[in-house]
Amino acid sequence: MHEVQPVRSATIKDVAERAGVSLKTVSRVINNEPSVHARTRERVQREIDALGYQPDPSARSLRSTRAYAIGLVYDNPNAHYIINLQRGVLSVCRSSGFGLQIHPCDSASPKLADELRTLVQRSRLAGLVLAPPMSEQPELIRSLVEAKIPFIRIISARKDPQDGFPCVYVDDRDAAYAITEHLIQLGHQRIGFLWGGREHRSSPERYQGYEDALKDYGIPLDRKLILAGDYTFDDGFRGARKLLALKDRPTAIFGSNDEIAAGVLAAAHSDGINVPYELSIAGFEDSPFSKQSWPALTTARQATEEIARHAAQRLIGDLQREANGEPARHANEGFSPELVVRGSTAPRHVAQAPRGGGGRRKAGV
């Protein structure tokens, strides 16, 4: 029989020595604080496991009173956009030990800056991810900078705005150009355009893509085919009813997002207009509806979850670099939505019933 050795419990000092790090670093790993590099965290955890070190729970409760959570700020009625935004940010929160507080708000509220300061202070948030349109409000951004609240913006822009504040930017204009070009190449000349909400910078960007494509292909703008509205199904429905009642109605309608395009599709159905043979419809977002509708919608794939993931990585990365005394990064990342062609767009019918419905004539393309 072996003699039983008295077992000395491993201490935090043993762990620190074997891992070659400071006591403070071991303590950070134990408390799951986010300011530790993944590789260091792994090394420390290996030694904790190897030594069977068990931290004293009462010591753990003495840790910093700071709550490790970030906030996600948005104002958007589009459920799928929001869920994908949350998914992307959450995936990064998970892997870095942060909680996520959500904060839908009214982007038009004059008290928004106060509201966000109170939110950050009361909930002790480490930083904010700002979705459009809040991310695109210069005054709000200034007040967050003054209040020293770390943030990352998700914005619509052709290129890095290089304004000194961190963002990920999405080139809506380029994708809207691709959609319009696709319709033109199918032979459409009278292409309706339904705007999204003006408070979103993506709205003029998408409009600009449409206008640029028409210009490049020598198709004159017809103001009657361009209607203001919001990023909603109802505005898509109403707008389409107006466009389809025109004497010389469009043969294609580009809705600024999939919700609008869904409204256009419903208006066409309710008017007994065949999609895509009498009317082509395109949206923007690649929402589940766009895949599940009949016909499925041609759209632009906006990788919201991926964009949100990159935004959260940048914010949390910056927070960790700051905690470790490292310099901040300055490069902003850009994304381009991709054209996705589905059944809702088709070549302009060469033999098309003119207004009134009687007879058939050849239409010059």
288 binds a second copy (CB under 8 A): yes
Binder to a second copy among 118, 185, 324, 352 (CB under 8 A)? 118
Binder to a second copy among 184, 262, 297, 311 (CB under 8 A)? 262
CA-CA distance, 181 to 192, in Å (whole number)? 13
Q: How far is the CB of 30 from a second copy (least distance, A)?
A: 12
82 binds a second copy (CB under 8 A): yes
Region binding a second copy by CB under 8 A among candidate stretches 4-12, 60-68, 219-227, 277-285: 60-68
Q: What is the dihedral sign for C-alpha 230, 234, 240, 243?
A: negative
Region binding a second copy by CB under 8 A among candidate stretches 74-82, 154-162, 170-178, 196-204: 74-82
Amino acid at 135: S
119 binds a second copy (CB under 8 A): yes
Binder to a second copy among 269, 328, 329, 350 (CB under 8 A)? 269
Q: Is 21 helix (H, G, I), strand (E, B) or coil?
A: coil
Binder to a second copy among 266, 339, 341, 363 (CB under 8 A)? 266
> Which of 144, 148, 147, 142 has the alpha carbon at shortest distance from 163?
142
Q: Where are the beta strands (DSSP E) in the chain?
A: 69-74, 99-104, 128-130, 151-156, 167-170, 191-194, 226-227, 252-255, 280-282, 299-301, 333-335, 338-340, 351-352, 361-362
Region binding a second copy by CB under 8 A among candidate stretches 93-101, 146-154, 170-178, 318-326: 93-101
126 binds a second copy (CB under 8 A): no
> Which of 164, 74, 83, 79 has the alpha carbon at shortest distance from 116?
74
Binder to a second copy among 104, 111, 146, 215 (CB under 8 A)? 104
108 binds a second copy (CB under 8 A): no
136 close to 157: Cβ distance less than 8 angstroms? no
